[in-house]
Amino acid sequence: MITVNLRPDLKRKRARSPLAGVVEAVRGLSLGGKVKDPLLLACVVSWVGVLGWLGYVVVSTTTELNALEPQLEATRAEHKRFKAFLGEKRHQETIRDSLVAQIGVIRTVDGDRYVWAHLMDEVTKALPAYTWLVDMSNAAPATAPTAAPAAGAQKDSTRSDSVAPPAAVAFVVNGRTVDIQAYTRFLRQLEASPWITDVTPVSAQTVVEKERPVTAFTIRATYRQADSAYIRTVPLSESVR
């Protein structure tokens, strides 16, 4: 097939790549056609993107900080309130420790002051009818071997409320009765007392007093601190109308 060029002054246009138009458009838009280097344009676009991202980060951070300001103020107020509460709590604990120490000293002083008052009251309650006492005196306590303290069970001397119980008080009761059954009843009632332990009959024999045969007995026992359930407190003074 023969082709005849009717316009020999015009050259045949070459087929162009589809990306050539895009490159030319970018070159035309780059700074009014003055920037011819695509790398420089890419750098400028990158800086613009970085600056835009930094601006977004600053704005979002500022917004979040403004939103957290009320929570910060509330937390500071709560901290001040709890700090005042803890200070008052420490003050009250100091007062409590001082009072406990004073009560411990008072208990130490008064630990054995009312021993004989308890003994006389318990012996009087246990005394049956037709039985009377001749005397009641202190006796040397029976010696018992003391066990060595176990390892790790040493007494904590730092506690102010740890008060040693009063020492055991051994006593001897001498009495008379006209009924031997009253004597055994007296022994049982003494053993039932929460303040008296180790009740031991020492002797019981018949004697003549005022021309009448009676049973003279001697009983040995030991005082012990009763449980708090048996202790009843009464006011020292009452108003009288």
Query: Average pLDDT, stretch 4-23?
Result: 57
In angstroms, what CA-CA distances link 108 with 81, 89, 100, 154, 160?
Answer: 41, 28, 12, 20, 11
For 158-209, write each residue's pLDDT tens digit: 344 444 555 678 899 999 999 889 999 999 999 998 888 899 999 989 888 8
The reported pLDDT for the residue numbered 173 is: 92
Question: What's the CA gap between 182 and 194, in Å, rounded?
Answer: 21
**Structure confidence at residue 18 as a pLDDT band (50, 70, 90):** low
- For residue 163, the 8-state DSSP code is -
What is the per-residue pLDDT across 55-70, written as a single tens digit (0 to 9) for each?
Answer: 888 888 888 888 888 8
The domain defined by 115-142+166-227 folds into Alpha-Beta Plaits (3.30.70)
Burial class (CB in 10 A: 0-12, 13-18, 19+), 166: middle
pLDDT at 4: 65
Is the per-residue pLDDT at 48 higher than 80?
A: yes
Between CA 225 and CA 212 the distance in angstroms is 39
Residue 25 in 3-state DSSP? Answer: helix
Write the CB contacts of 139 (distance below 8 Å, at least 6 apart in sequence): 170, 171, 172, 220
Residues 6+ apart with CB under 8 A from 173: 123, 133, 135, 136, 218, 219, 220, 221
- Higher-scoring residue by pLDDT: 88, 157: 88
Q: Confidence band (pLDDT; 50, 70, 90) for 9?
A: low
The predicted pLDDT at position 52 comes to 87
199: part of which helix (H) or strand (E)? strand 196-209
Show contacts of 141-150: CB within 8 Å, 24+ apart.
141/167, 141/168, 141/169, 141/170, 141/222, 142/170, 142/198, 142/222
Q: Is the pLDDT of residue 101 over 70?
A: yes
**Does the structure show a pLDDT above 70 at 26?**
no
For a pLDDT cut of 90, what percent of the chain falls above it?
24
Q: How confident is the model at residue 51 (pLDDT cuts 50, 70, 90)?
A: confident
pLDDT in tens, 110-154: 666 778 888 888 899 999 998 999 998 887 755 544 444 444 444
Question: Is 17 a residue whose pLDDT tops 60?
Answer: no
- In contact, 163 and 100? CB cutoff 8 Å: no
Question: Which pTM does this prediction carry?
Answer: 0.47
Q: Could you give phi then psi for residue 25, rounded to 5 degrees? A: -65, -40
Residue spans of alpha helices (H) in the chain: 18-29, 38-110, 115-126, 180-191
Residue 174, pLDDT score: 93
Rg of the chain over all Cα atoms, to the nearest angstrom: 53
Amino acid in position 30: S
> In this predicted structure, what is the pLDDT of residue 69?
87
* The pLDDT of residue 161: 44
Provide the pLDDT for residue 39.
80
User: What string of DSSP letters covers 52-90?
Assistant: HHHHHHHHHHHHHHHHHHHHHHHHHHHHHHHHHHHHHHH
